[in-house]
């Protein structure tokens, strides 16, 4: 594993992608069973965990995963602790950016064995966001393996942890509904894109997507998954409901008006197969999801967040093994 930025990166030669995902899930669950089983794997190895945006779960879980593998993590808030980065190739840097990403990243590659980076989309220039300008610049100039901590369009560590969580439910081929939720401001499409990408690649679930008109996701991530605009119809017999807000991909970054109340309620939940409810957190209570659901037995959001550690650990272990000859 030379990098980890999307589902394809877990692909193992000779195995199909779905089976490769299964294998990674098994590795994550093995760490959950025994967190310290590979504590020598990362000895004398360092990971730079870099944030262009805020983070709680991703920050903590990546750091913990690294330490459980014996690595030394260094966490760094790029904008506030260091120098703001210029991203544009050929820029005349007479503005507010103090350092070009093409100068910073080669240096960071000298300091660290693995680099992890979080970068949110601007939600203004779709082409720039969907070509992953920042992440790809970062990868281009890095000379060590790069781990995405969420990028402009995807959040692969989240999605991998989501699949680990679904696997633990031990439901035979569950119907999983990705259900759009209201929010007060435009959010990235990353979590939804990424979950769709992973769920589509994994043969163990049937994915259905539901959202109001105007909130269609990028086709490359939806692929063949059924999109149903009627939320109640979509939820019928769902085993798992993954709740998440996102802003429009078409009218990029916009929040088209929505007629009905899309916040999941008791009546909607009654249509499901006693579905478990997932959300990547942070969640705005009583806007995205009600107290009633979050505080009830159907919510598995804490377990889902806890599984971030094991997902990160499995990925980091693979990166160490394939890049530094360990194992």
State the distance between the two ends of the chain, measured CA to CA, in whole angstroms. 14
Residue 47 binding its own copies, by CB under 8 A: no
For 12-32, b/e burial (b = at least 16 CB within 10 A) is eeeeebeebbbebbebbbbbb
Q: Measured between alpha carbons, how far is 90 from 98 in angstroms, rounded to an integer?
A: 14
Q: Does 287 bind its own copies (CB under 8 A)?
A: yes
What is the signed CA dihedral for 193, 200, 219, 282, rounded to 10 degrees? Answer: -10
Residue number, 93 or 270, with CB nearest to its own copies: 93
**Which is nearer to its own copies, 9 or 38 (by Cβ)?**
38
Query: Which one-letter DSSP state was computed for residue 173?
Result: S
* Of residues 8-37, those binding its own copies (CB under 8 A): 35-36
Q: Does 168 bind its own copies (CB under 8 A)?
A: no
Stretch binding its own copies (CB under 8 A), from 126-134, 173-181, 197-205, 301-309: 301-309
* Length of the chain as a residue count: 327
The DSSP symbol for 145 reads: -
**Contact call for residue 266 and its own copies (CB under 8 A):** no
DSSP 325: -
| Distance set, CA 199 to CA 136, 168, 221, 225, 316 (Å) | 24, 15, 10, 9, 21
Cα of 115 vs its chain's centroid, Å: 16
Residues 99-128 interacting with its own copies (rule: CB under 8 A): 99-100, 102-104, 106-108, 110-111
* Residue in 86, 129, 162, 318 binding its own copies, rule: CB under 8 A: 86
Q: Which of 76, 173, 237, 250 binds its own copies (CB under 8 A)?
A: 76
Stretch that binds its own copies, among 74-82, 161-169, 233-241, 248-256 (CB under 8 A): 74-82
3-state secondary structure of 149: coil
> Residue 159 — φ and ψ, nearest 5°?
-65, -40
Contacts to its own copies from residues 172-191, by CB under 8 A: 184
Contacting positions for its own copies (CB under 8 A): 35-36, 44, 46, 48, 51, 54-57, 59-61, 63-64, 67, 72, 74, 76-77, 80-83, 86, 90-94, 98-100, 102-104, 106-108, 110-111, 184, 281-287, 291, 294-295, 301-302, 305-306, 309
């Amino acid at each position: 594993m030379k990098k980890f930025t999307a589902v394809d990166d877990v692909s193992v030669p000779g195995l199909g992608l779905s089976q490769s995902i299964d294998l990674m899930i098994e590795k994550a669950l093995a760490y959950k069973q025994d967190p310290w089983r590979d504590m020598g794997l990362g000895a004398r190895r360092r990971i730079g965990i870099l944030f262009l945006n805020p983070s709680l779960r991703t920050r903590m879980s990546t750091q913990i995963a690294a330490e459980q593998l014996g690595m030394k993590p260094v966490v760094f808030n790029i904008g506030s602790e260091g120098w703001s980065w210029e991203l544009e190739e050929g820029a005349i840097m007479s503005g507010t950016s103090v350092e070009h990403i093409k100068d910073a990243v080669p240096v960071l590659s000298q300091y660290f064995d693995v680099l992890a980076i979080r970068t949110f989309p601007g939600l203004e220039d779709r082409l720039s966001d969907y070509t992953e300008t920042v992440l790809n610049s970062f990868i281009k100039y890095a000379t060590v393996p790069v781990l995405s901590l969420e990028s402009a369009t995807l959040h692969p560590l989240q999605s991998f942890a989501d699949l680990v969580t679904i696997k633990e439910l031990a439901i035979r081929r569950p119907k999983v509904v990705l259900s759009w939720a209201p929010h007060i401001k435009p959010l990235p499409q990353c979590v939804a894109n990424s979950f769709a990408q992973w769920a589509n690649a994994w043969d163990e679930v049937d994915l259905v997507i539901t959202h109001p008109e105007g909130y269609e996701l990028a086709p490359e991530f939806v692929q063949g998954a059924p999109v149903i605009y009627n939320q109640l119809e979509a939820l019928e017999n769902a085993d798992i409901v993954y709740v998440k807000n996102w802003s429009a991909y078409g009218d990029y970054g916009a929040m088209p008006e929505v007629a009905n109340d899309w916040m999941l309620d008791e009546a909607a939940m009654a249509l499901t197969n006693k579905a478990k409810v997932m959300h990547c957190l942070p969640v705005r209570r009583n806007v995205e999801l009600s107290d009633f659901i979050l505080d009830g037995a159907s919510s598995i959001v804490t377990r889902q967040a806890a599984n971030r550690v094991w997902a990160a650990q499995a990925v980091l272990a693979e990166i160490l093994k394939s890049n530094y000859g360990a194992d």
